[in-house]
Structure 1
Amino acid sequence: MHDLFATHDALAVAGLIKARKLDARELLDHTLRRLRDANEELNAVADLYAGELLERSVAAAGDGPFRGIPYLVKQLMAECAGTPTTLGSRFFAREPVSAADSAAVARMRRAGLVIVGRTNTSEFGLAPTTEPAFGGPTRNPWRLDLSPGGSSGGSAAMVAARVLPMAHATDGGGSIRIPASLCGLFGLKPSRGRISLAPIGETLAGAGVQHCVSISVRDSAALLDATAGAQPGDPYGAPPPAGTFLEAASRPPGRLRIAVMRRPVGGAALEPALVRTIERTAKLLEDLGHHVEEAYPDYDAERLNEAFWRVMCANTWTNLQVRANGRTPGPDDIEPVTRLYAERGRAVTADEYIRAVQTFHRTGRRLGAFFEAYDVLLSTTLAITHLPLGRVRTDRSADEFEKAVAPLTPFTAVCNATGIPAMSLPLDWTDGGLPIGLHFAARYGAEEILYSLAGQLERARPWRDRRPPPVRSKRGHPC
């Protein structure tokens, strides 16, 4: 059982449990031991359940496709009954526990997942790394001096280490796809409204979504089947698929029209290693029968970036006020960049906010026109190959922070602003053996196309056996 998730995905292990070839309780106890041991090295789990809380999680798991599979939920954009949601912040560490699950978490449980803890995140999810002052930095199992990315880095680190087959993640500007790229995982950001954010209405003017990072494509697809759908009163919902996402993942995609970007829109040229990986992927796609050509969507990247930070700042201020419930954060309660953004957000006028949201919508229409001519847009996920710990600092100026963030989000954030689905696949590797994610985006509501293409690419260039060195506990044995 020790290395089970290195050879089996979640659906396969759930199948063993259903066939009574594997005891669910033994799997749970074994996974909890591995999580504790691996966490000594990775610092990825902020809260690991035990006692009555764990037993309630076991009892709440339904008889769905993931029956008996242990699962971690990020400390952001999701409420788990009986635990606080800290947002990676010291200021909210003492918050009252959630009275009920959020809608998506309730669906995860009905799908059979046993929630066993909460994963580390950057404070408020602002940074595309996972190095909060509260909880400390999460390390990348590929190399411990590197960040797993963020803000879903805690989830990605544990899945990359093969302690779990998948874990919850959220994405407001790339926070599913960035850690998927840096950790060698599959990560799909769904369309706006695909998974309900109830009981809240939306986040980041619709830019924020949630789903998971996983080792296999089909686990991600099956989980989206289980969690997708609007709740009564949701402000919007994505169009329903023609079939299931799981079916799409095993179905040939047909001949797709694929546009290739060798640089960000309005940005500088990529380093040669990243250009080469795009070219190798383009050649693979051509060999698979797709039409591939270089093309770029037409939108104002600088104006979109300004709008994005304005929306981010306004949301930071508002969320801080709402969740603080009248409390005022002290000098050490929140990180300097969080405080700077909150103060900027406090000064955002209604006119400025509405214009920023209109920029989101204007850009969405530009991309909508682009996807009339193309089915998929290909780039790398990031404009860098790796992220050293400490490169993105939240204790410096906002300008320094944004300069460090820029190479992590030039391909990802536009998908959030416009609500379109996008995914990162670990299809290439640096000369030093680190994973490189390739980024694929599609028109709004077209997750089926992405899953179908992802399944084809997973079969053509499998990545399961490309895994980091075994994580070792402080006692010296492999996790």
Structure 2
Amino acid sequence: MADSQTPVQRIHAFADDALGELDAVGVAEAIRGGRVSAAEVVEAAIRRAEAVDPALGAIACADFDRARRSATSPVGGFFAGVPTFIKDNVDVAGLPTQEGSAAYLAQPAPADGEFAASFRRLGPVCLGKTQLSEFGISASAESPGREVRNPWDTDYTSGASSAGSAALVAAGVVPFAHGNDGGGSIRIPAAACGLVGLKPSRGRVPQDALMSRMPVRVVADGVLTRTVRDTAAYLRETERLRPVHGLPPVGDVRGAGEGPLRVAMVIESPFTPTDAETAAAVRDAARLLESMGHHVEEIAAPVPASFEEDFKTYYGLLFLYMNATGKRTFDKSFDWHRTESLTRGFAGYSLHRLHRLPAAIARLHGSARRSRELYAGYDLVLTPTVSHLTPRIGHIDPTLPFDIAMERLLAWVGFTPLQNASGDPAVSLPFGLSSQGTPIGVQIAGPMGSEARLLEMAYAVEEARPFARIQDSVGERGLQ
């Protein structure tokens, strides 16, 4: 795409083709209206993927031929014919589930998992699976030879673990793609890539069995999008197919809500300082909310001192489990010694703290009670999505010594894990570009089941501060 004297750093695939600049709702409407066919938009997405993925490294497994066949007779559903990708840590029939790891050779899955089955019922055409950090551990997907690069600047990470999905959506390859979030892995890549990334409430979206059986169900599935209406439509249509008992319905949210809200603002995580540009973006967002009539009050982070240690200990347990059951859980070729040092280090960290695990799990479960106490006084909470600007590739290299990689990881991820423990929903929204040219995200969180209110606020922010578009940026390079 560029000669050796002028290396391209900002890359996108937007073009004057069947996809154009449409979001997922727009593509679905164009197909239903007969202005384009599913086959045309799928072919356009494949061409875009082939053009930019060599620079991004976002696709773990392409399934283009089957996508072409599917597009000739798309199934029903609101998103019928819309091209998408699914993250490579859930099962898709006929494709391997490699989990971003080189520790085994995955065989094709015999059937769709719970998430893929649910997603397919909405009608999108899956073009393949997207790359992630090994087992979704790190907040940056940069395994040696499998780095996922940020389309806004390929010297930088696209976040993790839903890194591949975020990169492809941000670059315009597809309008939306699957992600899941066990510590921020929808919201962090959304922040890094200038996208909307909503982690739903626990239980809102169907999950594969491995994730739903966790002692603390920290993982939630969802989508990464370029517009609030795509996220809203995804949750609406998923709910129509599978109503969830015990949670308030999301319903059909199509715009900003009414009435002033009480918003708590947290600038500083108790675990790591927030950099000046990120803090300024959050304060700017607070002023915007106040201009809309909302009341914003700065508070200290409502997180106990034990939270970081408890979360690390619990996560290490998951990787100890993989070590013990890898040949059965993944494939008989699984070799723990071929995992990355971050994975092994996390497991070793928890192994030496097993005596603390019951109390850690109990305190993580207690996050839901502390959340209810917080939201007795506030409607929403505004924070940074991450503590500092997006790092360059190599900064959180998972082959670094564990202590170094973990220190750098925690220095970036200071805000998102709380909602994974409590089960509450939270959304990352783009809020301008940093001095280094990468997007900055702000996070808005709410109590369990408050997705409708979060979407209403997200619509208001999007209308007041339209999100930066990569195809409008100075110095970008488009599809050739």
TM-score, reference length from structure 2: 0.90
- Aligned residue in 1 for 2:184: 174
Distance 1:60 1:128 in 2: 38
Task: Give distance in 1, aligned partners of 2:387 and 2:464.
Answer: 25
Q: Give the equivalent residue in structure 1 for 2:343.
A: 338
Answer yes or no: is 1:305 the counterpart of 2:304. Answer: no
Structure 1 position 256 matched with structure 2 position 267: no
Q: Which one-letter code corresponds to 2:365 in the other structure? A: H
Query: 1:229, CA displacement in angstroms?
Result: 8.6
2:83 pairs with 1:83: no
What residue number does 2:4 align with? none
> Using a 3 Å threshold, how does the CA distance of structure 1 residues 385 and 291 change in structure 2: closer, same or farther?
same
Post-superposition offset of 1:362 = 2.1
Query: SS of the counterpart of 1:373?
Result: coil
Q: Where in structure 2 are the equivalents of 1:20-419 lying within 5 Å? A: 20-51=34-65, 53-54=66-67, 57-58=70-71, 61-76=74-89, 78-92=90-104, 94-133=105-144, 136-200=146-210, 201-203=212-214, 205-228=216-239, 239-242=246-249, 244=251, 247-264=252-269, 266-300=270-304, 302-325=305-328, 327=332, 329-330=334-335, 333-346=338-351, 349=354, 352-419=356-423
Alpha-carbon distance change, 271 to 95 in structure 1, aligned in 2, over 3 angstroms: closer
| Aligned CA distance change for structure 1 residues 5 and 369 (closer, same or farther; 3 Å) | farther
Residue 461 of structure 1 corresponds to 465
User: Structure 1 165/54 Cα, relative in aligned 2: closer, same or farther at 3 Å?
Assistant: closer
Q: Name the SS of the counterpart of 1:34 in structure 2.
A: helix
RMSD: 2.5
| Contact persistence 2:103–2:339 (CA under 8 A) | yes
How many residues align structurally?
462
Q: Secondary structure at the match of 1:417?
A: helix
1:227 match: secondary structure: helix
SS in 1 for 2:85: strand
Report how far residue 464 of structure 1 moved: 5.3
Q: Distance in 1 between matches of 2:63 and 2:403?
A: 39
Distance 1:339 1:431 in 2: 36
Q: Identity, % of aligned pairs? A: 31
Partners of 1:218 and 1:353 lie apart in 2 by 41
Deviations 1:46-80 (A, max 9, x none): 111133x435654785311111111101111x110
1:97 shift after superposition: 1.4
Structure 1 residues 443, 54: closer, same or farther in 2, change over 3 A? same
Q: Is the 8 A contact 1:217 1:458 kept in 2?
A: yes
Counterpart in 2 of 1:11? 25
- How far off its partner does 1:329 sit? 4.6
| TM-score normalised according to structure 1 size | 0.90
State the distance in 2 between where 1:343 and 1:229 align.
43
SS in 2 for 1:188: strand
CA distance in 2, matches of 1:106, 1:330: 30
**Which AA in structure 2 matches 1:304?**
F
> Which stretches in structure 1 are left out of the alignment for 5+ residues?
none
Q: 1:441 to 1:204 in 2, by over 3 A?
A: farther
